[in-house]
Amino acid sequence: MSGKQRARSFSVHLILIAYSLLAVGPILLVVMNSFKMRSAIFGAPLAPPDATTFSLIGYQKVFRTAHILTYYSNSLIVTLVSMALVLLFGAMAAWALTEYRFRGSTALALFLSIGIMVPIRLGSVAILNMMRSAGLNDTLTALILVYVAQGLPMSIFILSEFIQQIPKDLRDAARCDGVPEIRIFFEVVAPLLRPAIATVAVFTIVPIWNDLWFPLILTSSDTTHTVTLGVQQFLGQYITDWNSVLAALSMAILPVVVIYVILSRQLIAGLTSGAVK
Amino acid sequence: MPEPVSNIISQMPRLRLAALLLFFLGPALAVYSLFSIYPLVATMALSTYTSDPSGARHFIGIANFQALLGDALWSKPFWNAFRNNLIFFAVHMCVQNPIGIALAGLLSLPGLRLKGFYRTVMFLPTMLSVVIVGFSWNLILSPLWGVAAGALKTVCLGSLFAPWLGLESSALVTLSLISVWQFVGIPMMLIYAALLNIPDELIDAARVDGLGHFRIFLHIKLPLVLPTISLVSILTFVANFNAFDLIYSVKGALAGPNFATDILGTFFYRTFFGNQLQLGNPTMGAAVATIMFFIILVGLCLYLVLVQRRIRRYAF
Amino acid sequence: MANLRIEHLNKRYGATKVLNDINLNIEDGEFVVLVGPSGCGKSTLLRMIAGLDGASGGDIHIAGKLVNALAPAERGIAMVFQSYALYPHMNVRKNMTFGLKFTGVPPTERERRVAEAARMLRLEELLDRYPRDLSGGQRQRVAIGRAIVREPAVFLFDEPLSNLDAALRVSTRVEIANLHRMLKSTIVYVTHDQVEAMTLADRIVVMNRGCIEQVGRPLDLYYAPANLFVAGFIGSPAMNFFEAKVERVESGCARVAGAGFRSFELSAPSLEVGDLLTVGVRPEHLGRGADGPFAVEGVVELVERLGESSFAYLRRADNRLFVAEVRGRQTPTPGERATLVAGARDVHVFDASGLRVSTQNEA
Ligand SMILES: Nc1ncnc2c1ncn2[C@@H]1O[C@H](COP(=O)(O)OP(=O)(O)OP(=O)(O)O)[C@@H](O)[C@H]1O
Ligand SMILES: [Mg+2]
């Protein structure tokens, strides 16, 4: 490597490191300070917790006053069930739309693309009325139904791209083998869609986990709050209690970060797979 | 619409094909139509009604819209929210996308080490909830804590610090920048993916022609990823004109100070649900949602007509 | 085992005709190879036999039964795809048995068939591997094995060897020929490769633009192409063509003349004075010094040396190039002037519409 090249590579890394710091700095700062005593939070905010400043008082308070575990389980249920349904229904519809030629398939694809571009949020007034009259108000079921409807168009779009990448010969071979159409989908096509899960997750599942709007509108009791809404309400109530606020924020951040770091390779591969163009 | 792949279907008995389609498309279409399309349509229908104090609804045509756009009581906050939303969008376009492009360009440099690490770290904020991000920045920028002020002081810019989120003049731009900070990962990743799709031979050919990395980026890579950049722009537009969470969690439904950070999403929420100052008004809320729908629709059409059609896509 | 009869088969995509009135009779146990330029409709024909594409008109009979309305699995065919189309998430054994599950073959019978096919194709060691862990040649054998276990009446191959390297292609070709001898099944085989077609086929079907140009035994096609298209398509390098005209006819004997070659006599009773003809001679039939009615003169411009023989490109009097194969160590040198001669049996004559003119020289 010549001197000039080295200087250039150095400056590239300098920029990237600087931006990386900007990206994780605020998150680190919040998490770090959540483990400190109040005096240390204000006295030396940039210092990591040490033996003298370490404290879990914020976490104790959060566990005592907020139903944080309920929030977690609500969020998990809503996200996982929505994800399963979005993937299943989405893949089935994508298969029918890409594989079968029938009158109206183009119109149907257009109909579905409305949902990609127009946020379902704009229908909130009617959704609330509907859920109320169906007695689903303040239930996780209501959230799941809305999220599945919200996630489906994008997942159909993404999965269609993946299905088209599966060689045509493979389905023809299965047909020559006498495999029934439904089993061609479930036993030949669906197993090959595994790489698509990451892409679908980034575009439809992560927004579900993070959503504030629909829990705010559709759930009213503590027992149906999700993490995002629960933490948001907690923050509003205890805004002056810095230990608790930082602890609550960290508790919302940490699980996501841990899962993200574990799955980041797949997630980023899913994002860069070129399925979304 | 993708090219139909199977001709076998043409031989299949009508009834069997119909049964198959019902099986595969039925669940998705049912949920989607019932909980996405129907509410949108019902909301638009509701926007032509008003309710009297007894709760009964009356059809009033476009009166809600006339009030929203013309009656000072409604139109002042509406136009204020609309203008703020435009600023919110402009900041994203001018800051988020250039930074995203630049980071993607750096990440796609050949032979860069630690690529995976940088990607993971820089995309992290995008994975977090807007609520959490907004609140964290709220603390960091708070003069009470003094972290931001302290950080500026260490680089000798201490005098620049101000409670940006609290000032009417700077709150909106500050919130926009927080949102940019969070979402810059999306343009970065999409453009990065598009850059990866450019064949290495093309870049090698340009190198042989004597172009440096920067010139290659500017003259070869950038034009080739233009379709992705335009896609990112329209995604940003839709997301921005539908944003709510960040403002609501940092500033509450009143989008203070003095409505300086009010955008259409928060205005919709306030109109629909009410707040300390007013009662909720579902029919007027529906009217706001309908207008938002048309704003997004107009944006999409402009994009399709003006941008999408002119952009050339290149096959490699 | 079964015969295959195709009658007036048509295929249209919108307004474009892809197959045009195809008629073909394939005997039980026959190995038929479809050749033709890219896009002529070979794959389409094969897929229609398989039932993967529907017909726009016409009938297909397999083993005497009309199969137009039957699904692929009910037609008693098995297809081997160019891309192999192995299920990537199933191991070799599962790949072979997967289809049998749905056609009601009991498990013990499945095992027996897989074992037998594996033995025949030397796949025993590979049965538990996944397609990604196999070499190209092994994948190809698995694809063939998957077809064999179905015990079909007709095997359909769509360019099965085109993804293999040259050496493997030769050995797999031999294996397929052996397989056909052992199984004695009816095979329809699509290829681009002339050598494959010539060596494997009982009969070759030459297609062009959705029509069948000629059906015949390999050597018949080579020695007596029915028309200009087949003459130019079969053989490599392609046949040399010379434009010609009938100058004189005397008692069934025509004198043919044209630019670039010496006029010669042809005993073809059907010809009349003034008929426009095309005379064709294969490069390998042009020789120095040999005796024959056809002689052409040219200046050597370029020589391609292949070792066993060389191809000389010569420029003839009317300024066009023609090719001659020269055997032996002595290769011509560029700039040399040479006269090349072909025997009467090796001169092909086609009339203005491109059809072969039968001559008594052939007899
Ligand atoms: N779905 C389709 N729609 C329109 N035209 C098609 C379709 N499928 C095939 N064709 C056309 O049919 C013709 C025959 O195609 P086919 O695949 O049978 O050719 P082929 O002889 O197998 O060529 P190759 O040797 O390249 O494989 C081509 O001109 C092709 O463009
Ligand atoms: Mg083909």
ipTM of the shown complex: 0.86
Q: Number of structural domains, chain A?
A: 2
- Indicate the top mutation candidate among C9, C13, C49, C161 to test ligand 1's pocket, ranked by most ligand atoms within 8 A of CB: C13
Q: Which of C81, C110, C150 to mutate to test the interface with A (most CBs of A within 10 A)?
A: C81
Kindly give the distance from the C-alpha atom of residue C40 to the centroid of ligand 1, in angstroms, as a whole number. 7
Digit-coded pLDDT (tens) for A5-25:
788 888 899 999 999 999 998
Q: A101 and A33, same structural domain? A: no
Q: How far is B196 from chain C (nearest CA, A)?
A: 25
Q: Which ligand has the minimum distance to the alpha carbon of residue C47?
A: 1
Tokens of C27: 């005997």
Select the more confidently predicted residue: A261 or B91. Answer: B91
Contacts of C95 (CB under 8 A, 6+ apart): C86, C87, C131, C142, C146
Q: A156 and A122, same structural domain? A: yes
Q: Using CB atoms, which residue from A26, A213, A235 is nearest to B244?
A: A213
The 3-state DSSP class for residue C21 equals strand
Digit-coded pLDDT (tens) for B159-202:
777 788 888 888 999 999 999 999 999 899 889 988 888 887 77
Q: A122 and A35, same structural domain? A: no
Can you give the residue ranges of every domain in chain B?
7-59, 72-308
Interface of B with C in 2-61 (CB under 8 A): 7-8, 10-11
Q: Which of A177, A186, A188, A194 to mutate to test the interface with C (most CBs of C within 10 A)?
A: A177
CB-based burial label for B51 (10 Å; 0-12, 13-18, 19+): middle
> By residue range, what is the domain housing residue A99?
61-271
Contacts of B111 (CB under 8 A, 6+ apart): none
**pLDDT > 80? residue B222:** yes
Predicted local distance difference test score (pLDDT) of residue A277: 42
Predicted local distance difference test score (pLDDT) of residue C361: 55
Which residue's CA is minimally distant from atom 2 of ligand 1?
C13
The closest of A78, A73, A32 to A55, measured between CA atoms, is A32
Kindly give the distance from the C-alpha atom of residue C234 to the centroid of ligand 1, in angstroms, as a whole number. 21
Q: Using CB atoms, which residue from B35, B117, B131 is nearest to A146?
A: B35
**How far is it, in rounded angstroms, from Cα A116 to Cα A155?**
9
Residues from chain C that touch A170, judged by Cβ atoms under 8 A, are 85, 87
Tokens of B14: 């009508």
Predicted local distance difference test score (pLDDT) of residue A275: 46
Kindly give the distance from the C-alpha atom of residue A36 to the centroid of ligand 1, in angstroms, as a whole number. 71
Q: A150 and A68, same structural domain? A: yes
Is residue A163 situated within a structural domain? yes
Give the CA-trace dihedral at B101, B104, B109, B114, to 10 degrees. Answer: 150
**How far is it, in rounded angstroms, from Cα C303 to Cα C305?**
6
Phi, then psi, of C269 in degrees rounded to 5: -65, -20
Q: Are B185 and B122 in contact (CB under 8 A)?
A: yes
Q: A82 and A34, same structural domain? A: no
**Atom number of ligand 1 nearest to Cα C47:** 18
Interface of A with C (CB under 8 A): 167, 169-170, 172-180, 183, 187-188, 191-192
Contacts of C270 (CB under 8 A, 6+ apart): C357, C358
DSSP characters for C298-357? EEEEEEEE-SSEEEEEEEETTS-EEEEEEESS----TT-EEEEEE-GGGEEEE-TTSBBP
Residues from chain C that touch B10, judged by Cβ atoms under 8 A, are 54
Q: How far is A3 from chain C (nearest CA, A)?
A: 44
Can you give the residue ranges of every domain in chain C?
4-227, 237-362
pLDDT averaged per 10 residues, chain C (length 363): 89 90 94 94 92 89 90 88 88 90 88 92 92 90 91 92 87 91 93 91 95 95 94 91 89 85 85 89 85 86 88 88 86 87 90 86 49
Select the more confidently predicted residue: B155 or B69. Answer: B69
**Contact state of A169 with C99 under an 8 Å Cβ cutoff:** no
Domain C4-227: state its class: alpha beta
**How far is it, in rounded angstroms, from Cα C145 to Cα B14?**
35
Domain boundary among A55, A70, A99: A55
Q: A107 and A48, same structural domain? A: no
State the pLDDT confidence band at B9, using cuts at 50, 70 and 90: low
Q: How far is A177 from chain C (nearest CA, A)?
A: 4
**How far is it, in rounded angstroms, from Cα B178 to Cα B129?**
12
**How far is it, in rounded angstroms, from Cα A258 to Cα A256?**
5
- Indicate the top mutation candidate among C9, C20, C43 to test ligand 1's pocket, ranked by most ligand atoms within 8 A of CB: C43
Kindly give the distance from the C-alpha atom of residue B312 to the centroid of ligand 1, in angstroms, as a whole number. 28
Tokens of C126: 């590979």
**How far is it, in rounded angstroms, from Cα C152 to Cα B237?**
58
C309-316 vs C321-327, strand pairing mode:
antiparallel
Digit-coded pLDDT (tens) for A132-182:
999 988 899 999 999 999 999 989 988 988 888 888 889 889 988 888 889
CATH of C237-362, one of 2.60.200.20, 2.40.50.140, 1.10.287.110, 2.30.30.100: 2.40.50.140
CATH number at residue A168: 1.10.3720.10
Q: Using CB atoms, which residue from B46, B124, B190 is nearest to A125?
A: B46
Consecutive H or E run containing C162? none
CB-based burial label for C175 (10 Å; 0-12, 13-18, 19+): middle
Which residue's CA is minimally distant from atom 12 of ligand 1?
C18
Which residue's CA is minimally distant from atom 29 of ligand 1?
C39
Select the more confidently predicted residue: B214 or A224. Answer: A224
Q: Which ligand has the minimum distance to the alpha carbon of residue C209?
A: 1
The whole-angstrom distance between residue B146's C-alpha and the CA centroid of its chain comes to: 31
Q: A89 and A48, same structural domain? A: no
* CB crowding C119-149: b at 16 or more within 10 Å, else e: ebbebeebbeebbeebeebbbbbbbbbbbbb
Residues at CB less than 6 angstroms from ligand 1: C 13, 16, 18, 36, 38-44, 192
**How far is it, in rounded angstroms, from Cα A84 to Cα A205?**
10
DSSP characters for chain B? -PPP--SGGGGS-HHHHHHHHHHHHHHHHHHHIIIIIHHHHHHHHHTTEEE-TTS-EEE-TTHHHHHHHH-HHHHHHHHHHHHHHHHHHHHIIIIIHHHHHHHHHHHTSTT-TTHHHHHHHHHHHHHS-HHHHHHHHHHHT-TTT-HHHHHHHHTT-GGG---TTT-TTTHHHHHHHHHHHHHTHHHHHHHHHHHHHS-HHHHHHHHHTT--HHHHIIIIIHHHTHHHHHHHHHHHHHHHTT--HHHHHHHTTTTSSTTTT--HHHHHHHHHHB-SSSB--HHHHHHHHHHHHHHHHHHHHHIIIIIITTPPP---
Q: A180 and A51, same structural domain? A: no
Q: How far is B72 from chain A (nearest CA, A)?
A: 24
DSSP characters for C100-138? HHHTT--HHHHHHHHHHHHHHHT-GGGTTS-GGGS-HHH
State the pLDDT confidence band at B11, using cuts at 50, 70 and 90: low
Select the more confidently predicted residue: B55 or A238. Answer: A238
Q: What is the mean pLDDT of residues A124-130?
A: 89
How many residue pairs from chains A and B have C-beta atoms closer than 8 A?
A: 283
Q: How many CA atoms lie within 13 A of A276 on its CB side?
A: 29
The closest of C161, C309, C332, C168 to C236, measured between CA atoms, is C309
Q: A194 and A126, same structural domain? A: yes
State the pLDDT confidence band at B224, using cuts at 50, 70 and 90: confident
Q: How far is C356 from chain A (nearest CA, A)?
A: 40
Is residue A155 situated within a structural domain? yes
Question: How is chain C split among helix, strand and coil, in percent rounded to 5?
Answer: 30, 35, 35
Q: How far is C155 from chain B (nearest CA, A)?
A: 19
C154-158 vs C77-80, strand pairing mode:
parallel
Kindly give the distance from the C-alpha atom of residue C44 to the centroid of ligand 1, in angstroms, as a whole number. 6
Which residue's CA is minimally distant from atom 5 of ligand 1?
C13
Q: A102 and A29, same structural domain? A: no
The closest of B301, B267, B298, B293 to B281, measured between CA atoms, is B267
Fold classified for B72-308: MetI-like fold (1.10.3720)
Interface of C with B (CB under 8 A): 51-54, 69, 71-72
Q: A218 and A89, same structural domain? A: yes
Q: Using CB atoms, which residue from C71, C72, C81 is nearest to A169?
A: C81
- Distance between terminal CA atoms of chain A? 36
**Contact state of B121 with A231 under an 8 Å Cβ cutoff:** no
Is residue A174 situated within a structural domain? yes
Domain boundary among A36, A55, A74: A55
Q: Are C311 and C303 in contact (CB under 8 A)?
A: yes
**How far is it, in rounded angstroms, from Cα C262 to Cα B242?**
85
> Ion ligand 2 — residues with CB under 5 Å?
C 43
Residue found under tokens 């890219």 = C38
The strand pairing partners of C16, in sequence order, are: C13
**pLDDT > 90? residue A251:** no
Other chains touching A, judged by 3 or more CB pairs under 8 Å: B, C
Phi, then psi, of B155 in degrees rounded to 5: -100, 25
**How far is it, in rounded angstroms, from Cα B261 to Cα B274?**
17
Consecutive H or E run containing C79? strand C77-80
Give the orientation angle of helix B185-197 with respect to helix B115-127, to 10 degrees. Answer: 140
Digit-coded pLDDT (tens) for B78-126:
999 999 999 999 999 999 999 999 999 999 887 788 888 898 899 899 8
Q: A109 and A240, same structural domain? A: yes
Phi, then psi, of C266 in degrees rounded to 5: -140, 130
Q: Please indicate if any CB of chain C lies within 8 Å of the CB of B306.
A: no
Digit-coded pLDDT (tens) for A89-126:
999 999 999 888 778 888 888 898 888 878 888 888 88
